[in-house]
Chain A
Amino acid sequence: MAARVLVYIDHFQGQAGLSSWEAVGAARSLAQSWGGEVTALVVGSSSSALAVEAIQHGADRAIVADDASLEEYRAEPYASTVAKIAKESAASVLVFPTTGRTRELAGMVAVDLETGITPDVIALEAGGGTVVATRPIYAGKLLTKETCPGRLHILTLRARAFPMPEITAGRTGPVEKAAPDLGMPATEVLGYKASDGGVSLTDAGVIVSGGRGVSNNPKLNPPADITDEKQKEIWRAQQGFALVRELAAVLGAAVGASRAAVDAGYVPYANQVGQTGKVVSPDLYIACGISGAIQHLAGMRTSKTIVAVNKDAEAPIFRVARFGVVGDLFDVVPALTKAFKARLGK
């Protein structure tokens, strides 16, 4: 079987996320065990720079499908273009990083090619020409292995599950142009509402998260013009989250939250970590005032090191934590911010 590996470079307006380079690295490992080649695939409006970057991260060659109308990601023409190139390439594996764009994109390409898709892969083994992909199911309570015998196997790799490859500045390879398949335009991107501009949760090396506990500071008195009890609670929580944000800022970390904090209206859903939010695996996860419900643990238990700060010594979060502080987060978190500042020289 031809052991060609195609890797799709996901990007936002010409900027690739780190998970795209992790995917190139994983594709490289697969190709190496088969003695095959890695071809990076970039769809966009002027993607040559990304093609060069992909080769520097370990691809042997790149295919670029550019068109002015592809500047903004739209599922339909991107899927048609990727499917067309994959068909022509005779690849045996097509690898994507897992992002909000690529899950639907990879699924649609799978339909076009009548083949199988394994999303959110955390481990890969190269068999004889086929891949055995491992992914979590039941919100990370179990793992399943999947193969796709005799057909092109489409994979999306979970961010931070595969190592970031080294960059080789002088590495070059052929960059080939391919014609996109634009089809009929059905959707139009009207614009973007920026998120709060913080570090992206799924790419973050460090995450500081707050839970329900951040609203429990009795020493804080809401301003007199807030009379509604619920609004008072939200005001208190926002002061608590300010402490979480300060610690995150010192560490260059993303800010996360438990479902309880999101459902209570303290922070937007985009910050939610857990079964019904984002699944993350940073090097360091600091949980502040989070008890550790099973649904939250599902979203962060693969973090390399977990630190828990909680008043309740019996909280389940301590069962997955490497380090714990039993204490009041309103005292401990500012002290941590100060200590990190001093030790990291900021």
Chain B
Amino acid sequence: MNIVVCVKQTPDTAATVTVQDGKVSWGDAPLVLNPWDEFAVEQALRTKEAHGGKVTALSLGPEGAKEALKQALAMGCDEAILISDPGFAAADSLVVSAALAAGVRKLGEIDIAFFGRQAVDSDTGVVGAQVARRLGWPSLSLVAAVRAIDPAARSIEVERLLEEGRQEVRSTLPATVSVTKELNEPRYPSFMGIRKASKAEIQVWSASDLGMAAIPAAALTWPEVMSLPKVETQCEIIQGDSPDQIAEKLVGRLLEEKVL
């Protein structure tokens, strides 16, 4: 099978993120492979291990995003491609999905494109579905289990995590699959994988390489990025002689403050 996994480089989730002069800053926190995308890479690799084929990691970002692709290569992806062009600097999900869809098309006959459910920086969680829409493929999002893939019949069966329970869906291939955690445990890169990744050549495609004559303008504008309003919470510690007394006091306070 010809498999693509779309990944993004993001600041580490433990980073302290602030706004400085109207711009987002994460200080000297490291940039990493988006944690959700690790599940996507793992599922892509498992799909290849079960059915044969090739896994290509595809990302959009600045030159530095090659580091995230190297992580994907170290985990076991066969090839990595970075879509990079100064014109994408102010992209919204509409533009990002157009670029990634063009990238997937350029890769030829693809059977599945995996995505993480969302990026931990922009938090939109829509790009996988949007790429599917642009390619005219079915979108399978919030996938918590891949039950079966039948390359000959060109079909896939998954479980999607909805509020009401797990929706069991069968779809034709090609399709996009955006994954949540729980469906696998991402592997650590092997020593050999890290060595291979450090020497790998990562191709860079510009907008014109993708056949995008002009990069479309973003639909969205961002008039303001803000830090969270400071909320002063004074924690009232409830004390008492016994758990029962503490519990009665606490319940009393909650009812007094009309919390319930």
List the B side residues contacting A327 at CB < 8 Å. Answer: 243, 246
List the A side residues contacting B163 at CB < 8 Å. Answer: 12, 17, 99-100, 200, 202-203
List the A side residues contacting B242 at CB < 8 Å. Answer: 335
A340–B250 Cα distance when bound, in Å, is 10
Interface residue? A336 (CB, 8 A): yes
The listed residue (A100, A110, A325) touching B162 by CB distance below 8 A is A100
| Pairwise interchain contact B129-A108, C-beta atoms closer than 8 A | yes
List the A side residues contacting B167 at CB < 8 Å. Answer: 73, 189, 192
Interface residue? B93 (CB, 8 A): yes
Interface residue? B133 (CB, 8 A): yes
List the A side residues contacting B234 at CB < 8 Å. Answer: 322
A141–B243 Cα distance when bound, in Å, is 35
Q: Which residue of A lies closest to B180 (CB)?
A: A269
Could you say which interface size class chain B belongs to? Answer: 35 or more
Enumerate A70-96 residues with CB–CB distance to B below 8 Å: 73-76, 79
Enumerate B214-243 residues with CB–CB distance to A below 8 Å: 216, 218-228, 233-238, 242-243
- Assuming A110-B126, A186-B138, is B218 touching A116 (CB within 8 A)? yes
Enumerate A164-211 residues with CB–CB distance to B below 8 Å: 186-195, 200, 202-203, 206
A12–B160 Cα distance when bound, in Å, is 14
- What count of chain A residues pass the 8 Å CB interface test? 92
List the B side residues contacting A103 at CB < 8 Å. Answer: 125-126, 129, 141
CB distance from A188 to the nearest CB of B (A): 5
| Pairwise interchain contact B133-A79, C-beta atoms closer than 8 A | yes
- Assuming A141-B17, A190-B168, is B133 touching A108 (CB within 8 A)? yes
- Assuming A144-B225, A336-B247, is B125 touching A114 (CB within 8 A)? no
Interface residue? B21 (CB, 8 A): no
CB distance from A312 to the nearest CB of B (A): 13
Q: A106-B126, A142-B18 are in contact. List 20 more A-B contacts (CB 8 A).
A: A12-B163, A103-B129, A107-B133, A138-B121, A144-B224, A186-B137, A194-B165, A195-B165, A200-B163, A270-B161, A275-B13, A305-B254, A306-B233, A307-B250, A319-B233, A325-B237, A325-B238, A325-B246, A336-B247, A339-B248
